[in-house]
Amino acid sequence: MDLLFRDDQALMREALRLATKAAASDEVPIGAVIAKNGRIIGRGYNQVEMLQDPTAHAEILAITQAAATVGDWRLNDCDMFVTKEPCP
């Protein structure tokens, strides 16, 4: 889905939608979105329990997807929207 989001609030709403999806799966309700020029290039929600993977946090999954989308691990000029402050 290649939608153009016109403002930060719309991107945060998408992150909140993903957090709701996590909650419905009995996960910690966190969602994350990475955008470049208003286009979402990565998204994720917590899937630690579902995947039995301690690294399957929303932020990590979104970063992995974004890097695959742009073909580079450097996500220059991108913005991340997360429903909670990322883990240290």
> What is the average per-residue pLDDT within 28-35?
97
Q: How far lies 54's CA from each of 16, 48, 76, in Å?
A: 21, 5, 26
User: Does 62 have pLDDT greater than 50?
Assistant: yes
The end-to-end CA distance of the chain, in Å, is 30
Q: Which of 14, 27, 49, 59 is catalytic?
A: 59
For residue 59, indicate whether it is catalytic: yes
9 vs 3: CA distance, rounded Å? 14
- In this predicted model, which residue has the larger pLDDT, 58 or 38? 58
CA 85 to centroid of chain Cα atoms = 12
Task: Return the CATH class of domain 8-82.
Answer: alpha beta
Residue 4 has which token pair? Answer: 């153009």
Q: How far apart are CA 33 and CA 51, in angstroms?
A: 20
Q: Residues of the chain with pLDDT > 70: what percent?
A: 90
Give the pLDDT band of residue 3 (cuts 50, 70, 90). Answer: low
